[in-house]
Amino acid sequence: MRVLGIETSCDETAVAIVEDGADGRRCLAHALSSQIIEHQPFGGVVPEIAARSHLNRLDKLVGQAMAEAGLRYEDLDGIAATAGPGLIGGVIVGVMTAKALSSVHRKPFIAVNHLEGHALTARFTNGVEYPFLLLLVSGGHCQVLEVRGVGQYRRLGTTLDDAAGECFDKAAKMLGLGFPGGPAVERAAENGQADRFSLPRPLKGRAGCDFSFSGLKTAVRHVAEALPPGSIQPQDANDIAAGLQKAIVAHIVDRCSNAFAMVSGERPTMFVVSGGVAANTALRQALSDLAADQDVAFVVPPVDLCTDNAVMIAWAGLERLALGLTDPLNFKPRPRWPLDAATV
């Protein structure tokens, strides 16, 4: 079975083709175009610029992926696209392109939840079996989920305000470290003293596994403003970045440690971490240690498949198609789309 996937939910335009067959699970092609340079002057993603960029690049990337895979459209079994959640302008570009390909070539259309793409990545890369515990941590999302199958998710905790990735981005902007913020803060933290400034540990000691990052952003601003008048010196920025990274990692580990006791039914034997922030080395190491303490296997996809990509969308589409789960061409893109069906 082969599925072409399209990802346009934020600032990455990507197309991939994956296959599941006698030779196992394979990525036959992955064409990706980043918009980082276009958004850098603004210190964050500008939705209008992102949507126009997707529109200008997507057709070419589809052709690239088909050529790389050496396939014709009749060789495909389905066309999948991120249909939400995300920046709605970009999502519409991807969905309409997928619908057009589906209609012209008479292939099933699969509307993929972007979060489900992240959730199932480890099944493609590591062959993870259900059930498993998932930490999904990215620029726009931070939640812990019990994953029992395709479309079978129980949310144990989520952020009460901002996501971890947003906290990294906003702090990096305040400190003049550049965009994207996650990698910028991590680089600065390598040369910083994490204990120079006191930053809070949100929700520490509280029950449950919800997250909160808004207070950390505010604390970073207060620390920066308390420095002598004038621009923040490089070492100041490095030290604040190190303290922020340490606080975020400690907060995530503290909340995830509670999640293991909240799982219903069979206890998962695997702890999976996915999403762009999972690329952070310090976080990966701390969560690996937590998994060892909990006596469960720790799985994190390769770094290039933690950030937004089309491989995860193609794979999630393939898993859904294999179960006969397809969507009509009048499916409406969704700016918000929770994985847990019980979530209002």
The answer to whether 4 and 79 have CB atoms below 8 angstroms apart is yes
Buried b (16+ CB within 10 A) or exposed e, 29-47: bbbbbebeeebeeebbbbe
pLDDT digit string, tens, across residues 9-46: 999 999 999 999 988 999 999 999 988 889 888 888 89
**For the whole model, what pTM was predicted?**
0.93
**Domain map of the chain by residue range?**
2-121+308-322, 130-304
**CA atoms of 14 and 34, how far apart (whole Å):** 8
At residue 301, φ and ψ (nearest 5 deg) are: -65, 165
Q: Quick one: tokens of 119?
A: 């959730």
- Asked if 10 contacts 86 with a C-beta cutoff of 8 angstroms, the reply is yes
Residue 125, number of CB atoms within 10 A of its CB: 20
Collect the ranges in the chain with pLDDT lower than 70. Answer: 343-344
| Joined tokens for residue 62 | 């589809």
**What is the CATH architecture assignment of 130-304?**
2-Layer Sandwich (3.30)
Residue 35's pLDDT is what? 87
Within a 13 Å sphere around the CA of 141, how many CA atoms are in the beta-carbon half? 31
The pLDDT assigned to 230 comes to 72
CA distances from 334 to 30, 70, 114, 119, 174 (A): 25, 33, 10, 18, 31
Q: Do domains 2-121+308-322 and 130-304 have the same CATH topology?
A: yes
Question: What is residue 343's predicted lDDT score, i.e. its pLDDT?
Answer: 66
CATH number of 2-121+308-322: 3.30.420.40
